[in-house]
């Protein structure tokens, strides 16, 4: 062990003497503990800085992945919206057992207007019920197929106060989903869009040429 001499303020010296007296140890022992404690604190700071650097690196990677994903998404030159490439037969897909369209733009405004009229005249009586059946229309024309769990859980998140739980919500809404025009039930837990042509036929008398 090496010895060396340092100069400290009177107040610091008094603090060290008081602590040494209370604890029954030498002043040197108190000074060594304080120096050791200072080294540990320094290590903690270094470790904390390393952790901050690691988190910043991960954040940069996440932002880079997000930018790359956005760059890969096809964009329309005029509107900047995501473009949808449709197969000529997609309008009628669904009823024949083939793949349902992911999205369709043909006559969307006219169909939605007719569907809204159907909801008002034939759909649920409650505001939240009407909202759910309209949400069904949007989801099916956008995705082609949705599951019971997606509808049940998503609607319950939107209207938690209207029903005791998600199951009671579905028990109340299932018949409206089954009876909605343009909706097919290909299997347990699935609901499929029947296609624009089938929906247009089901909405005869409700559709309008005005959007």
The residues spanned by each domain of the chain are 10-69, 90-202
More confident residue, 81 or 2: 2
Per-residue pLDDT tens over the stretch 182-197: 999 988 889 999 999 9
Lowest-pLDDT range of 62-66, 91-95, 110-114: 91-95
Residue corresponding to tokens 């949705």: 146
CATH class of 90-202: mainly alpha
Question: Is 90 exceeded by the pLDDT of residue 155?
Answer: yes
Q: What is the pLDDT of residues 60-91, one digit of tens each?
A: 777 777 777 666 655 544 444 443 433 333 33
pLDDT reading at 23 higher than 50: yes
Helix (H, G, I), strand (E, B) or coil at 146: strand
Cα four-point dihedral sign 130, 133, 138, 139 = positive
pTM for the model: 0.48
Mean pLDDT of the chain: 76
* pLDDT, greater one: 209 or 136: 136
Which long-range CB contacts under 8 A does 85-94 form with residues at least 24 apart? 90/195, 91/195, 91/196, 91/197, 92/195, 92/196, 92/197, 92/198, 93/144, 93/195, 94/144, 94/184, 94/192, 94/193, 94/194, 94/195, 94/198
């Amino acid at each position: 062990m090496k010895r060396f001499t340092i100069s400290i303020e009177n107040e610091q010296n008094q603090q060290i003497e008081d602590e040494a007296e209370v604890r029954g140890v030498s002043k040197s022992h108190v000074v060594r503990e304080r120096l050791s404690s200072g080294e540990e604190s320094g290590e903690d700071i270094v470790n904390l800085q390393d952790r901050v650097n690691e988190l910043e690196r991960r954040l940069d990677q996440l932002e880079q992945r997000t930018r790359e994903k956005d760059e890969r998404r096809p964009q329309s030159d005029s509107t900047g919206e995501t473009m949808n490439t449709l197969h000529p037969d997609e309008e009628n897909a669904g009823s024949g057992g083939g793949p349902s369209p992911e999205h369709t733009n043909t006559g969307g405004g006219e169909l939605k207007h007719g569907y809204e009229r159907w909801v008002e005249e034939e759909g649920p009586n409650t505001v939240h019920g009407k909202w759910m059946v309209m949400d069904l229309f949007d989801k099916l024309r956008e995705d082609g197929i949705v599951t019971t769990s997606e509808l049940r859980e998503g609607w319950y998140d939107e209207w938690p106060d209207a029903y005791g739980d998600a199951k009671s919500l579905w028990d109340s809404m299932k018949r409206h989903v089954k009876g909605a025009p343009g909706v097919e039930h290909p299997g347990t837990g699935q609901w499929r869009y029947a296609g624009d042509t089938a929906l247009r036929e089901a909405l005869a008398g409700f559709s309008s040429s005005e959007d």
